[in-house]
């Protein structure tokens, strides 16, 4: 390996075997916290050194997600203050980005599967692979050492190079480009785990799945995955145009949520208001039955808006079914009517990211069914703050990605 003081511009790649000492990165610093437009700035920083179980990746493309928005705002946590807590040295800057595709430029001596020159996908779930409980068979997503790369941990994907652990890496599906691979990984693996991981409530052939935010990054990916796994996706969206896109991507139909008004917490409603809430939620459930063509309620509800929708998700879920939740875009302070949980023996299950096993199975599915993620927009490297602002404003459907290895 040769180290060089030469500065490579974004889009230029050093030859394999050559590693620059400095790289361009979009950094966040404490004094700039507030919004993606102010918080993110390009700086020249040191290329991180790798440890024995780590790889140095030359990023080609990276997915945009809410982690960058929250990190820019500094809420619910200040990522700069805590970035030394997760296998990294403490720095006064933070490099975000939790989903990437790129090329391996260096490997530590304990890395087994990958070699310099391999094209790989990097996911956000990072953990200590030597954790005794994991070695004994525990799901790594339950490990105390697990955290999200590029949010809780530093040296994420929004840089020319990233330092990652082998347990974050998977091969790129043969049918995908670098941009598609970066777009597919996080939402695809998250959706796949939500549908396949939770024993007793895994997706079965012909099951109905309600997908909130059907035209969003996670939503479109979930619709494709449900179809590929033999289920019947029903999308919820905020416009007919988005609904038609969901149908094009495989949804059996859609519900325009703007036609309903029973959103948010239920515990502050008066008895009269709550009766009205039940009437609205019942109408919503009947729309699902109408789309499906029979009185078949969702076996799985894929939930992520949180506060606004959780009471409805639980109400419309089939008996013995599962509301599986991976986020809370509208607020994490939600409430529910507990009767619908125990009387109908439904389950609320949290789900977060996915393991290497989930990722491997998802990539197999992507190849077997020739799934291509729906990319709303591919941004140039220089447009990274705008990409986050667009995500926050829901400016595009589908997944947003930036190019890094392209001029």
Ligand X SMILES: NC(=O)c1ccc[n+]([C@@H]2O[C@H](COP(=O)([O-])OP(=O)(O)OC[C@H]3O[C@@H](n4cnc5c(N)ncnc54)[C@H](OP(=O)(O)O)[C@@H]3O)[C@@H](O)[C@H]2O)c1
Which residues in this chain contact ligand X in the complex, by CB under 6 A?
65-66, 186-187, 190, 212-213, 215-219, 236-238, 242, 257, 304-305, 308-309, 326-327, 329-330, 352-353, 391, 394
Q: Tell me the closest approach of the beta carbon of residue 327 to ligand X, in angstroms.
A: 3
Closest residue to ligand X: CB criterion: 216
**Residue with smaller CB distance to ligand X, 71 or 215:** 215
**Residue with smaller CB distance to ligand X, 54 or 358:** 358
Q: Tell me the closest approach of the beta carbon of residue 60 to ligand X, in angstroms.
A: 20
* Distance separating alpha carbons of residues 277 and 274, to the nearest angstrom: 5
Report the 10 Å Cβ neighbour count for 206: 11
Q: Which of 210, 215, 218 is nearest to 238 (CA)?
A: 215
**Residue with smaller CB distance to ligand X, 47 or 181:** 181
Q: Tell me the closest approach of the beta carbon of residue 245 to ligand X, in angstroms.
A: 10
* Distance separating alpha carbons of residues 117 and 1, to the nearest angstrom: 13
Residue 394: helix, strand or coil by DSSP? coil
**Residue with smaller CB distance to ligand X, 58 or 197:** 197
Cα dihedral 92, 93, 99, 100 in deg (nearest 10): -120
**Residue with smaller CB distance to ligand X, 140 or 216:** 216
Phi, psi of 382 (to 5 degrees): -70, -15
Q: Tell me the closest approach of the beta carbon of residue 392 to ligand X, in angstroms.
A: 8
Q: What's the token pair of residue 354?
A: 């996915």
Q: Tell me the closest approach of the beta carbon of residue 190 to ligand X, in angstroms.
A: 4
* Distance separating alpha carbons of residues 367 and 364, to the nearest angstrom: 5
Phi, psi of 147 (to 5 degrees): -155, 170
Q: Tell me the closest approach of the beta carbon of residue 287 to ligand X, in angstroms.
A: 14
* Distance separating alpha carbons of residues 249 and 96, to the nearest angstrom: 30
Q: Which of 372, 360, 369 is nearest to 229 (CA)?
A: 369
Q: What separation in angstroms does the CA of 315 have from each of 201, 210, 251, 318?
A: 17, 12, 21, 8
**Residue with smaller CB distance to ligand X, 111 or 229:** 229
Q: Tell me the closest approach of the beta carbon of residue 256 to ligand X, in angstroms.
A: 9
**DSSP character at residue 295:** S
**Residue with smaller CB distance to ligand X, 143 or 187:** 187
Residues 159, 163, 165, 171, CA torsion sign: positive
Q: Tell me the closest approach of the beta carbon of residue 11 to ligand X, in angstroms.
A: 26
Q: Tell me the closest approach of the beta carbon of residue 195 to ligand X, in angstroms.
A: 13
Residues 172, 120: contact at Cβ < 8 Å?
A: yes
Q: Which of 100, 66, 79, 82 is nearest to 151 (CA)?
A: 79
Alpha helices in 343-400 (DSSP H): 356-368, 384-392
Which residues neighbour 33 within 8 Å (Cβ) at sequence distance 6 or greater?
39, 72, 73, 74, 78
Q: Tell me the closest approach of the beta carbon of residue 193 to ligand X, in angstroms.
A: 8
**Residue with smaller CB distance to ligand X, 149 or 178:** 149
**Residue with smaller CB distance to ligand X, 313 or 403:** 313
**DSSP character at residue 23:** E
Which residues neighbour 248 within 8 Å (Cβ) at sequence distance 6 or greater?
none
**Residue with smaller CB distance to ligand X, 50 or 255:** 255
Phi, psi of 186 (to 5 degrees): -65, -50
């Amino acid at each position: 390996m040769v180290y060089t003081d030469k500065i490579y511009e974004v889009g230029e790649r050093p030859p394999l075997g050559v590693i620059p000492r400095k790289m361009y990165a979009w950094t966040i610093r404490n004094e700039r916290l507030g919004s993606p437009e102010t918080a993110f700035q390009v700086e020249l920083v040191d290329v991180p050194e790798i440890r024995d179980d780590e790889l140095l990746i030359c990023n080609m493309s990276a997915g945009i997600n809410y982690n960058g928005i929250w990190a820019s705002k500094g809420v619910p946590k200040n990522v700069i203050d805590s970035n030394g807590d997760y296998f990294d040295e403490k720095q006064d800057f933070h490099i975000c980005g939790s989903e990437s595709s790129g090329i391996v430029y260096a490997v530590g001596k304990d890395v087994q599967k990958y070699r310099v020159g391999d094209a790989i996908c990097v996911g956000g779930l990072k953990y200590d692979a030597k954790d005794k409980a994991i070695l004994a068979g525990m799901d790594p997503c339950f490990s105390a050492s697990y955290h999200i790369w590029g949010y809780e941990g530093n040296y994420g994907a929004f840089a020319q190079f990233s330092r990652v652990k082998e347990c974050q890496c998977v091969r790129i599906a043969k049918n995908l480009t670098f941009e598609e691979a970066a777009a597919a990984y996080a939402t695809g693996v998250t959706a796949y785990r939500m549908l396949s991981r939770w024993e007793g409530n895994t997706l079965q052939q012909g099951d109905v799945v309600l997908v909130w935010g059907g035209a969003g990054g996670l939503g479109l990916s979930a619709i494709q995955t449900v179809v590929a796994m033999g289920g019947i996706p029903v999308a919820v969206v905020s416009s007919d145009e988005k609904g038609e896109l969901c149908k094009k991507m495989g949804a059996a139909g859609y519900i325009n949520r703007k036609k309903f008004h029973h959103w948010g917490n239920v515990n502050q409603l008066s008895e009269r208001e709550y009766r009205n809430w039940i009437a609205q939620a019942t109408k919503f459930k009947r729309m699902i039955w109408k789309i499906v063509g029979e009185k078949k309620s969702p076996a799985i509800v894929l939930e992520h808006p949180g506060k606004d929708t959780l009471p409805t998700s639980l109400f419309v879920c089939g008996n013995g079914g599962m509301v599986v939740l991976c986020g809370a875009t509208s607020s994490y302070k939600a409430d529910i009517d507990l009767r619908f949980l125990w009387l109908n023996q439904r389950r609320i299950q949290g789900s977060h990211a996915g393991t290497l096993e989930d990722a491997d199975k998802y990539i197999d599915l992507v190849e077997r069914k020739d799934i291509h993620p729906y990319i709303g927009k591919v941004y140039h490297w220089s447009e990274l703050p705008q990409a986050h602002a667009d995500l926050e404003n829901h400016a595009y459907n589908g997944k947003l990605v930036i190019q890094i290895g392209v001029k």
